[in-house]
Amino acid sequence: MSSNLTYWRDELRAIAASNGEDDGAHDIAHLDRVWNLAQSIQSVHQEADLMVILAACYLHDIVNLPKNHPDRARASTLAAELACIKLKAVGFPEEKLAGVSQAIAAHSYSAGIVPSTIEAKIVQDADRLDALGAIGLARLFYTAGRMGSALAHPADPLAKNRSLDDKQFALDHIEVKLAKLPATMQTEQGRHIALTRLASLQEFREQFAAEWC
């Protein structure tokens, strides 16, 4: 990584850390993982601007509303606005702000904004990949615990004879949302990683049910 990128990564990590986020599913470690995943995807998309991707990766959760918050769908738009204010204050290249804003606004699943740039596509894929696989599973149950959800339905964990409800039952979130993520991937590499990680989640779901009842 170039010295310029290293400088801005440190600056952006400091901005993110100063935000006072206490959500372990959206902490600095999450931002580091998203940045690492984004770099991996960008390696086959050399046309993408790494500076834009870097800023969006570290500031995409600068406004992070709970999953059950009534304004959840607006969180990414609010984050994009605040990120630009923060970036201007530290002298980030102004010509890159529009790209950063678009990438942050489009990253959210809840917002339903279609990414229109390669940078936004990469950031969206990287953020969603962190919701899959072993770490995604840990984040799922961590978030469910914060929301007061049960681990699973007491008698029908796989929802064979009921409607899925991931607000009440954490395990349901795999099928309600996570199983849909590979189809939303914007890059071929992102889709490949997503399918591999989803397979491990679905295997876990079956094993969980076998042990549950």
Upper half-sphere CA count for residue 97 (Cβ side, 13 Å): 16
Q: Does the residue 167 lie in any domain?
A: yes
Domain boundary among 117, 145, 168: 117
Residues 112 and 140 in one domain: no
CA dist 20 to 2, 61, 71, 82, 186, Å? Answer: 28, 11, 20, 14, 31
Tokens for 88, please give them: 């201007």
Q: Does the residue 128 lie in any domain?
A: no
CA dist 190 to 1, 124, 182, Å? Answer: 21, 9, 8
Q: Does the residue 14 lie in any domain?
A: yes
Q: What is the pLDDT of residues 89-142, one digit of tens each?
A: 999 999 999 999 999 999 987 778 889 999 999 999 999 999 999 999 999 999
Residues 94 and 149 in one domain: no
Residues 102 and 153 in one domain: no
Q: What is the pLDDT of residues 29-65, one digit of tens each?
A: 999 999 999 999 999 999 999 999 999 999 999 987 7
Q: Does the residue 107 lie in any domain?
A: yes
Which SS3 state, helix, strand or coil, does residue 89 take?
helix
Q: Does the residue 123 lie in any domain?
A: no
179 within 8 A of 202, measured Cβ to Cβ: yes
Residues 137 and 112 in one domain: no
Domain boundary among 90, 117, 144: 117
Residues 84 and 35 in one domain: yes
Residues 90 and 23 in one domain: yes
**CATH assignment at residue 169:** 1.10.3210.50
Q: Does the residue 174 lie in any domain?
A: yes
Q: What's the DSSP call for residue 160?
A: S
Placement of tokens 């489009």 in the chain = 106
**DSSP of 34-85, one letter per residue?**
HHHHHHHHHTT-TTS-HHHHHHHHHHTTSS---TT-TTGGGHHHHHHHHHHH
- What residue numbers bound the domain in which 77 lies? 3-117
Residues 40 and 87 in one domain: yes
- Neighbouring-strand partners of residue 150: 169
Domain count, the chain: 2
**Rounded to an integer, what is the distance from CA 9 to the centroid of its chain?**
18
Placement of tokens 């992070």 in the chain = 64
150 phi, psi to nearest 5 deg: -75, 160
Between 73 and 78, the more confident residue is: 78
Q: What is the pLDDT of residues 14-33, one digit of tens each?
A: 999 988 667 888 999 999 99
Residues 90 and 48 in one domain: yes
Residues 107 and 141 in one domain: no
Q: Does the residue 125 lie in any domain?
A: no
Q: What is the pLDDT of residues 146-201, one digit of tens each?
A: 999 999 999 999 999 999 999 999 999 999 999 999 999 999 999 999 999 999 99
In angstroms, the first-to-last Cα distance of the chain is 50
Residues 77 and 181 in one domain: no
**Looking at residue 213, what is its pLDDT?**
83
Residues 21 and 90 in one domain: yes
213 within 8 A of 154, measured Cβ to Cβ: yes
Q: Give the whole-angstrom CA distance, residue 133 versus residue 147.
A: 21
Residues 100 and 22 in one domain: yes
Q: Does the residue 124 lie in any domain?
A: no
Domain boundary among 89, 117, 145: 117
